[in-house]
Every structure is written in structure tokens, then in C-alpha cells.
Structure 1
């Protein structure tokens, strides 16, 4: 019997219990799934970083901590977590992110906001074709690649940037500092899907925002700290940036006094771009437990040196 502890906020148990049990059965795993195993008896922890479990020292036989979150910045530095840590790469979450990003890129591309606001008068707005609208995706992990490839399928010329060199069919890939400058220089729309690490904080700042063509649009469903908020607001005020759609913030919920709420060229969405989907996430968890029991390599294991 494999002992699995579920460690997330209490209300998540009702959401995940049935999908996890079904996924374990489908994978042929004999699992005792509980909220309250004795720590020394636990083989795997299904985990959310905002749970009450923060000290992993008593989990002496635990083979892996399997996060339900895509981001691990809130837990990767925990010195008591010495066993393998796997982040969530969920097909359902990825599909949701692709749909959200594609929708907002098309909203900008077709100038839907302006068309709606002028529907009381005859003022045709004819957009260019997608092939005339360069898009840059910052971050080429699983989510970034999926979004970049969908946008390329729709005909947008897509440039992707990552810290390390990558090659993706149909995407112009750039990396490093010089690559970032190139990726921004022609981008009419920028999508941020980088992880939150010390190396990615304020990727968009006063200097990098100035590299963008005047009036460029920004979409951030990645992480709040990727953007220097003061620099973005200043760029919006002077028209360097035409509009920003922001789904993530340094402080959430976004404080009501924040200027993002009232700025005419900012759209705020409440961290809804992508959510872990219990049905598909449960299958990822079950596959990683199967791999652990077979002494196989875990999926999506975190490289703690990189922070993701």
C-alpha cells in the first residue's frame, strides 16, 4: 500500500479527493489517500504551497512532494524540503492558458475594445492580418511554448525568448540579454509567461519597455514580479505602452488603491488565466507516483538551482 497525504487548503479536499482516487485506480496503484497520515509513514505528499504543511522534517520516508501549482516560488526555498519536488504541468491548465492568451491577443489584434466603445457610430476599424502583427512570448516553458505555437498557427509572426537557448518549430527563438532586446524591438504584443525567480524579476522595466515600438500592448498571465509596476505605469502615461492586460500581481488580491484599477489603459483580471484542473492534474499526480514506485524519472521535477 502506498501512503499519500493530501496537504492543501481544507476546501480543496472535496474538489480533489474523487479525481485522485479515480486516477490512482486507473493507474493500477493501491493508494491509501488521507489528510492525516503520520508523517513518518507518508510515501508521497500531494501539495499546495499555501497549505499548513511547511516543515517537511518529519516526512522521513517521503519519496516526492507533488505540487498542485505550476509555480513553486513560494516553496522552492524551503530548507526542510529535501526530497524531490515536482511542479504541476497540467494539460487542462495549459489548455486554459492557451485559450486565455489567444483570446486577449486577438482582442488586441482586432482592436475589439475600441470597436465596442464606438458602436454608437459608424466608425469601421479594419485590423491588419495576423501575419502583419508581430507577437513576442517571454518564457518558453510548457505554457509559453503552447501559447506561442497556437499564435503561430493563427498566422502571427511569433518570437519566443527564454534565458537559455531553445529551438521550437515555427517560432523564432531568442535567448540571453541580446536576444531579449531583439525579441522586444519589433513586438506589437508581448505575452509574459516566465517563472518568478530573482533572475526574471522586473524583466519589463524602464529600459526594456523603452525597447518596444510605441503603443505596444502587454499581456501578463505569468507572475506579477515580472513587471516593474512603476515603470509600466509611467510608460502607459506617456503612451509608450498602449495598453496592458494584467492577470497577476505582486500583491493579490490587487489592493483597491492601486493605480491599475483606475488607469484607462489597464485591464485587470483576477488571476483567472489558468487554473489547475482536478481531473487532468490527478492523472499527472498518479503518473508521478507510478514513476516513483518504478524508480523512474519524475515528470517536471524542479531544478532548485534555477528555481523552477
Structure 2
């Protein structure tokens, strides 16, 4: 996510921390290395990374938002550095794009997860309850189902699950019932203002300082864009597409995202002790956890949207990675025996 103070004024979160996390501080970037900014946004991280890369290195950027591609390739702010290229693609597909372009292996991968400030502050994108605008919420406006289209067909149970799971909203079911009731009355929700009003009528109490619609907007955005599945797929690709010594750096902005990143890194970097074999050699693992970084107080004071950001960094080891097969999944209990 990219923060800003007024519409279209762009402030990149954890700018120097994220760029610096892609290589060892003493060794610096790898000569001839390939680096990936899988969530270009408005290019704050990419521009700084480029300024620090060797002349023979490559920076590949991806973004599924057509506006981001235009920003990177057209107008006075376009990046013309020959070491840079950008592709219109979801960040979950970064490893496939790298392979198709013949750029593997990758020395560093950066992902800045979530909605960007230009998306939030452009009323026509439908991400914010601050404006009454068409309820779209798609990060890639060239494909997929808008939030309004989803609300036009979802059942109470489906809506309740999405709002509770992705918004961690305790009033998920009353909100879902109110949305479906409005639709069945012949007035489907089509704008951000209408959604905000319906939610406000269904939520009886809310913590001070938070708009009642905050969690519902977050939930619908995550669902419409498949954000958590995208994140999981992008993380798993790092095990096969990162070179030994390659760095993974992920910035997240809420607990659902950060939990996925934290669990992924821990699963593939933390040794599990088998108490039945106390003297066994440690099992080599594909990742090494490097750091967890939060914005400084100065950055938060200058850019309040940075407050919830967390940067987690891991390094790929030289342990070969073989993706688990479907038939490797744990089996259920067998008759007459244990699992």
C-alpha cells in the first residue's frame, strides 16, 4: 500500500527499509541479478531499487491495475531506465512472468500488499466510503466481478461469511441481512454511499474513531480481488523461483495479510524438534527468517497510513524445494489404527 496526505500526492511506506531488505547490507545487490517489485503501485519502491542496482542488473515490476502501468510507461513520470520493465499481471503470477521472460532465478522479491492510496483516493474506483461513487473495488478494472455485481447475487450466508472472515466484523450477519433485504426490495446497492448507509443502519455500536463501514469495505475488497489467495500463491512461488541467498520482503497492512506472511516464513524457516529423536540432525529448511520491521514514529507522524504496516523479510537457503504432491496430504484416521 502506498500512503499519501492529499489526493494524488504519493508517499511510499517503508521506502528505504523495503528496498534495503532485498540484499545483504554489506554485500549489496548481486551483479547481474534479477529483482522483482511485484506490486508497482506508483513506483516509489521501484525507483529507489533502480537507483541502487548495478548497471547489469534487471528490475521487473508487475501490477494488475491498468492505471499503474500507464503511470510507469507514459508521461513525464515514466521510467525509461533500460534495466526496468513492467508487465500487466497479478502479483501471484510473478514467478510465471519471470519464467516466460527468461529472467530466472530471482535475487530479490518485494511485495507491498493491499490497496494503494491512488486507488483509495480516486472516487471512481469505489474503494472508499469517503466518496459516493460506483461500487467497483476491482484492482484490475479490465476483468472480474465488481463489488456491486457481487452484492447483486450473493446470499445472506455468503455475505455473512465474507464480511466476518475478511473484515473480522462481529455484525457480519445483520449487515448481510440488511444488504440482501435492500436488494430484494428492488433497490440493489450500486454505490459506495449506499453501501455505507446500509452498513451504518445495521451496525449498532462501533469503536470510537472508526467508520461503521470500514470492515465491510475491507472484506468486500479482499473478496472481489481474491487478495489472500493471491498472497498465498505469491509466497509459495518464492520457494522455487528465488535463487539461494535471494531475499523475500513483504509489506502488509492488516492482521489477515500479516498472519499469512508470518505463518509462511515460520513454517519454512523454523526447526521443529522431534522429541522422540533428541539427537537427530536438524532438518535443513528452505527459508531463513531475517527481520520484522515497523515504521518509525517519525514516518507514522508524517504519514498516518503507515501506522499498521509490517515488513517481514526472509532469505532463501540452498535447500532444494520440492512442492508437496496432492497425495502427500495427511490422511484421515484409519480403521483400527492411528493417523
Q: Is TM-score (shorter-chain normalized) higher than 0.5?
A: no
Structure ranking higher in helix proportion: 2
TM-score under structure 2 normalisation?
0.26
